[in-house]
Amino acid sequence: MHNEAQFPAATVPVLTIDGPSGSGKGTISRMVAARLGWRYLDSGALYRAVGVAAGWADLDLDDHGALVRCTFDTEVGFRDDGQGEPRVLVNGTDATDELRTETAGAAASAIAAIPEVRAALKDRQRRFRQPPGLVADGRDMGTVIFPDAPFKVFLTASAEERAQRRYKQLNDKGVSVTLDGLLREILARDARDAQRAVAPLRPADDAVHIDTTGMDIDAVVEQVLALVKP
């Protein structure tokens, strides 16, 4: 993906899809972007990439100064694997699988609470706004990064269902986890994301709420597409 804007960004339509961990926003966003032929931004991958880079450097997550420097120093790239799945490069190394671990997720959540880190990544995220359009998923896409986006969605699902989805996803990849442990981590992350001082997780005032609990993925995709297509 290119990330240098050469045009008036405000003229490019954006669909923001925000929501808590496990709400399905990543899967839905990728499918919607493919159907629309728009670009796709996984904002969480940027925070996870910094978390992975911090882990590689053995940084203390309480050392905010070191984490801010790490944010500026970390190079994040995206490439297609040839089968429609994005691969994430951290400082030139494919870290896609590591980014999806619970450790990386917890680090990303902690790092995202640091105002200077969020400020450093704000412009990097906005540079993804390129023709013909952008689908951006995250936690503050509609409230902070693209507040002028014409299309906004906030996905939710029960914590129990989100834990079940994560459990299946990780089990399918051969990762050993417990359902109870995942539920505790999801509830803890929800609390951190909702209570942080900067850009807390909350729906934009003009976002359309969709509860995906018990919903088929294709049905959610169609519901989101109906908001964008005339």
- Domain membership flag for residue 3: no
Average pLDDT score over the chain = 89
- Amino acid identity at 72: F
pLDDT at 88: 93
Question: Which residues are documented as binding site?
Answer: 19-27
- Domain membership flag for residue 86: yes
- Three-class SS of residue 16? strand
Peptide bond into 132 cis (omega under 30): yes
The answer to whether residues 123 and 145 belong to one domain is: no
The answer to whether residues 155 and 219 belong to one domain is: yes
Contact indicator for 40, 26 with CB cutoff of 8 Å: no
Closest CA to 188 of 154, 208, 217, 162: 162
Q: How far is CA 181 from CA 118, 151, 195, in A?
A: 28, 35, 21
The answer to whether residues 25 and 71 belong to one domain is: no
Model pTM?
0.84
The answer to whether residues 32 and 76 belong to one domain is: no
The answer to whether residues 137 and 220 belong to one domain is: yes
- Provide CB contacts within 8 A for 144, sequence distance 6+: 118, 122, 199
Question: Which residues are documented as binding site for ATP?
Answer: 19-27
First-last CA distance in the chain = 27
- Domain membership flag for residue 8: no
The answer to whether residues 59 and 86 belong to one domain is: yes
The answer to whether residues 164 and 60 belong to one domain is: no
**What's the CATH number where 199 sits?**
3.40.50.300
* Residues 104-148: tens digit of each pLDDT: 888 888 888 899 998 999 989 999 999 999 999 999 999 999 999
Domain count, the chain: 2
* Residues 1-55: tens digit of each pLDDT: 444 444 556 789 999 999 998 898 999 999 999 999 999 999 989 999 999 999 9
pLDDT at 5: 44
- Vertex 33, ends 78 and 27: CA angle to 5°? 80
Query: What is the average per-residue pLDDT within 194-214?
Result: 89
Q: Does residue 84 carry a pLDDT above 70?
A: no
Segment 184-192 long-range contacts (CB within 8 Å, at least 24 positions apart): 185/102, 185/105, 185/106, 186/20, 186/21, 186/22, 186/159, 186/162, 187/159, 189/20, 189/21, 189/105, 189/106, 189/109, 190/20, 190/21, 190/159, 192/109, 192/110, 192/113
Least reliable range by pLDDT among 6-10, 57-61, 148-152, 169-173: 6-10
Tracing tokens 């032929």 back to the chain, one arrives at 37
- Amino acid identity at 172: D
Q: Which domain holds residue 87?
A: 45-97+110-128
The answer to whether residues 121 and 149 belong to one domain is: no
Determine whether 106 is exposed, middle or buried from the number of CB atoms within 10 Å of its CB (0-12, 13-18, 19+): middle
The answer to whether residues 124 and 138 belong to one domain is: no
The answer to whether residues 81 and 184 belong to one domain is: no
